[in-house]
Structure 1
Amino acid sequence: MFLSRLLEPVKAAAREAGETLWQMYQSGDVQYSQKADDSPVTSADYAANQIIIDRLSELTPDIPIISEESSLVPLVQRQDWPRYWLIDPMDGTQEFVARSGDFAVSIALVEHGWPALGVIFWPKEQICYYATRGNGAFKQHRNLINHIKVRQHLQGEPLRIAVSRRQPLERINALLASDQQVEFIPLGSCSLKSCLVAEGGADCYLRLGPTGEWDTGAVHIIVEEAGGKILDSQFSPLSYNRRESLANPDFMVMGQSNVGWQSLIQAHSGCRS
């Protein structure tokens, strides 16, 4: 009941932040800068961040918030939190800058170290993906809501892999079994590629390169409720709020559970702690 009461207000907050991002995207009235790690950040990121923090603080004033665009609380202060909000106000800032439109708002509630509620809003398409623990995953396009499930991959079919437009495919090919036929599906933000797996548009998504826990929190519960899994490159579960850094290892978003993923995708030692 607690999660169900939160869901609609969180969806509303994600939509409000997403509509602000879209207005700024269309107007072009945006300031650009670089973070210390050379990744881009914009005034749109900060505007969406403030909207989400304001709405969540009103909704649940006793639940702390971790955001990509806010100062990180030291592990010693947060490691015993029973629950917290984990947000990325704009997943896909590079796509915003490149004008592809493939960016999204991501909001997750993490309980006892595991995502329990997730909402992804894609402003360009007016699509909201969402899930709560034990209640399935859904895709809402305006007023039309559909229950989503991962794709049933058939033996002998090409493996449909969601990939970034900005990542060399050679790195992905190096992880695949040599005889595996593949079809690459390019898309923008990390969360949107994960949701593509959740709704059956792709069989898997291999993420190589830096991400944060805010990039996977919301989609983790959506993918799992749709019947898939997110595992690191050693086929181990991701973890949340256990390290001083919130950096993720390389990870894989995998659809149908009875596919022999470990024979199709080679584990590698590129994980970061």
Structure 2
Amino acid sequence: MDALNPQDFDSRTATHYYLCILSEIPHPVTLRMISSAFVFEPECEAVEKLRTMGCNIVPYRLHVFKEPLPLKFGLVEFYIYHTTEGETADPAEVHELFLDWMGTVLRLQISGLNSLIALGQPSELYSATPFLTELSRVCSFFNSGAIDDLDKVRTFILSKVRFNCDGLNAHVNARARVSEAVEMGSGEVVAEDRGNARGSVTEWKSVGKLQLSMISPEEMLWLSKQHRQFPPVSVQGKTITYNTVTVDAFLRESLAPLIEVP
């Protein structure tokens, strides 16, 4: 993995931590070219507003997976660094400003590399940590015993997911603040948010959908080699074959309940 910033950072306690998924990356595109797309120009309204609030967007980790596929995929993580002044900033406003920057400036810069970037988490969540934790906890597909490189396979799957925009998991933000308060020993915040965060992690709603048609035959063959429980995928000459009903059933069952396979 390539760390873009040496500052100490703990994703478990960060208020704002974002996972973005890079996809459809042509093989000639390098890490340096991608990292140069992280533009934080003062004339960007969202960036300037964050700075006046005492907040800065920090690229934390960038990695591109080089697999025997027609196009590469990868991830980049960002967090919001709060100065002393920024500690009082409204979390919801900071979140919206990050989404504004990512959805306009960053997306435009990445598209200039003939590549795509999208959030790898529900857009209502301030932090990817609760989602990634729940994904591993309840979705059997991500059983570490069946996958050698969980980070790689999870990134690939998330590159195919179309996340919902209904905000049904926004309550997780309040629950995450309680967890952070416990870590920091802040009884005041716990008391403030306990009523909104009483529910357990089982209250998660579906976060999005994965269409089987989004995975090409070449990708299906590759995926079958990454996951020891994946249904058989065979190659006869230049033809890749598999039982779509079996694969569909496997993905639907193993990605539930967070990711739907229609």
Q: Where on the TM-score scale, by shorter chain, does this alignment land: which range?
A: under 0.3
TM-score by length of 2: 0.24
Structure of higher RCO (CA pairs closer than 8 Å, 6+ residues apart) = 2
TM value normalised by structure 1: 0.24
Query: Which structure is higher in strand share?
Result: 1
